[in-house]
């Protein structure tokens, strides 16, 4: 099962940048609908999977490809349809709010469906949601016509995909072998460096590369990309550590853990929906810095209150502040990155931006019985002895 989750993350990391680039050639709406279709087929195949191998094809490969195709067009279309900073803040805030709700409520809803019906029904539910999105997306207008003559840098796509896959593998290997993690990350950086040199060579030869080097000449955009990666690392890191602690040490099940996380979801929802109002009153830079401060304060409150109280309510204030902080800075950082470039670069910067975020891979909460690491077993043994 961990292999299935890992392959899904690797496919997303490998194809996010090429997926963004393909929007220029085939159109943003067309690629968005194609991504939805591929994802929907993957969900149905997963629901009917007779074995783990078929489940990996449906969930890990097809849903991973679909995700990489549909996510960049979402950010491109939003940037094109909302031209003012405040209106973009409202739109991106809504996207971040709904995304945060989905990230937090997804495991809870999936757990409820799995418990009440079966795990197959959870994939059927995904397919139904995809069908609803496709129906609602029929009237979306693509303001930029596709250009079928645009070249696609296949060699650059392969190099970037290999480099990003190695980076994600390095992050995923951190739990097992520190030297393997370092090896993957070092080789991944070397491959990405080779990819960058290939881009420079193609630009000097007058050819169109996968990513233009102009994307990296904006200090504001570069800081925004680093900020996005740090935000997702904090959000996913907190989610993983708190979920593991709740289930392994406190003995809560997945549903109880999901309920406790609603505090962070509520905070993220409130701050994301307030993005337009905040953008009218404060500079984007101020909002990002304030978000980091609130998030760090939330982590401090979480550690202080949880260590001194056995109550589940002790998690709420810290998680609420973390949600408020991350939601408050995530929307302006995305807005800053997308707004730093003209329409011609939206496909490339959207793919790059989403790829940077994907490099902070989410970790699904595991039940204590499913944990097999030595640390998890020690926690289990200690808890059993204490009982």
Residue 208 per-residue DSSP state? -
Q: Domains along the chain?
A: 2-152+210-377 (1.20.1250.20)
Confidence of residue 16 (pLDDT cuts 50, 70, 90): confident
pLDDT at 5: 79
Range 198-216 average pLDDT: 82
Higher pLDDT, 88 or 364: 88
CA atoms within 13 A on the CB side of 197: 6
Q: Is the pTM of this model over 0.85?
A: no
What's the mean pLDDT when you consider all of the chain?
Answer: 80
d(CA 350, CA 335): 11
- What's the pLDDT tens digit per position in 163-204? 888 887 887 777 777 888 888 889 989 998 888 888 888 888
Token pair of 280 as six digits: 């009218």
Range 203-213 average pLDDT: 81
Model confidence at 382: pLDDT above 50: no
pLDDT at 222: 79
Token pair of 62 as six digits: 């097809």
- What's the pLDDT tens digit per position in 248-288? 888 887 777 778 888 888 888 888 778 777 877 888 788 88
3-state secondary structure the chain: CHHHHHHHHHHHHHHHHHHHHHHHHHCHHHHHHHHHHHHHHHHHHHHCCCCHHHHHHHHHHHHHHHHHHHHHHHHHHHHHHCCCHHHHHHHHHHHHHHHHHHHHHHHHHHHHHHHHCCHHHHHHHHHHHHHHHHHHCCCCCCCCCCCCCCCCCHHHHHHHHHHHHHHHHHHHHHHCCHHHHHHHHHHHHHHHHHHHHHHHHHHHCCCCCCCCHHHHCCHHHHHHHHHHHHHHHHHHHHHHHHHHHHHHHCCCCHHHHHHHCHHHHHHHHHHHHCHHHHHHHCCHHHHHHHHHHHHHHHHHHHHHHHHCCCCHHHHHHHHHHHHHHHHHHHHHHHHHHHHCCCHHHHHHHHHHHHHHHHCCCCCCCCCHHHCCCHHHHHHHHHHHHHC
d(CA 101, CA 268): 8
Give just the sign of the alpha carbon dihedral 234, 379, 7, 264: negative
Model confidence at 40: pLDDT above 60: yes
Range 294-318 average pLDDT: 87
pLDDT at 360: 55
- What's the pLDDT tens digit per position in 99-137? 777 776 777 787 788 878 888 999 999 999 999 999 998
- What's the pLDDT tens digit per position in 324-376? 888 888 778 777 777 777 766 766 777 777 766 665 554 444 333 333 443 44
pLDDT at 344: 66
pLDDT-above-90 percentage for the chain: 16
């Amino acid at each position: 099962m961990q292999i299935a989750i890992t392959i899904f993350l690797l496919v997303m990391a490998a194809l996010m940048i090429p997926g963004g680039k393909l929007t220029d050639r085939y159109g943003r709406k067309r690629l968005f609908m194609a991504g939805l279709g591929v994802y929907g087929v993957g969900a149905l195949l997963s629901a009917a999977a007779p074995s783990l191998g078929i489940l990996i094809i449906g969930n890990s490969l097809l849903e991973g490809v679909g995700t990489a195709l549909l996510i960049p067009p979402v950010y491109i279309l939003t940037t094109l349809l909302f031209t003012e900073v405040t209106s973009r803040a409202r739109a991106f805030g809504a996207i971040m709010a709904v995304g945060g709700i989905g990230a937090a409520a997804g495991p809870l809803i999936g757990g409820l469906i799995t418990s009440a019906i079966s795990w197959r029904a959870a994939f059927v539910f995904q397919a139904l949601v995809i069908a609803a999105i496709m129906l609602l997306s029929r009237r979306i207008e693509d303001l930029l016509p596709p250009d079928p003559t645009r070249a696609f840098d296949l060699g650059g796509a392969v190099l970037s995909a290999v480099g990003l896959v190695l980076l994600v593998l390095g992050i995923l290997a951190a739990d097992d072998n520190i030297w393997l993690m370092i090896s993957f990350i070092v080789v991944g950086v070397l491959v990405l460096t080779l990819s960058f040199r290939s881009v420079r060579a193609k630009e000097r030869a007058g050819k169109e590369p996968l990513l233009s080097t102009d994307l990296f000449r904006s200090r504001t955009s570069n800081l925004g990309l680093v900020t996005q990666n740090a935000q997702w690392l904090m959000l996913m890191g907190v989610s993983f550590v708190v979920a593991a602690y709740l289930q392994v040490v406190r003995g809560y099940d997945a549903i109880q853990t999901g309920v406790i996380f609603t505090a962070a979801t509520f905070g993220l929802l409130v701050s994301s929906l307030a993005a337009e109002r905040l953008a009218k009153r404060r500079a984007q830079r101020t909002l990002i810095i304030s978000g980091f401060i609130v998030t760090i304060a939330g982590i401090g409150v979480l550690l202080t209150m949880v260590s001194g109280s056995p109550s589940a309510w002790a998690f709420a204030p810290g998680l609420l502040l973390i949600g408020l902080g991350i939601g408050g800075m995530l929307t302006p950082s995305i807005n800053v990155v997308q707004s730093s470039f003209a329409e011609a670069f939206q496909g490339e910067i959207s793919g790059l931006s989403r790829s940077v975020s994907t490099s902070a891979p989410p970790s699904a909460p595991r039940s204590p019985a499913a944990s097999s690491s030595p640390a998890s077993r020690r926690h289990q043994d200690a808890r059993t002895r204490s009982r």
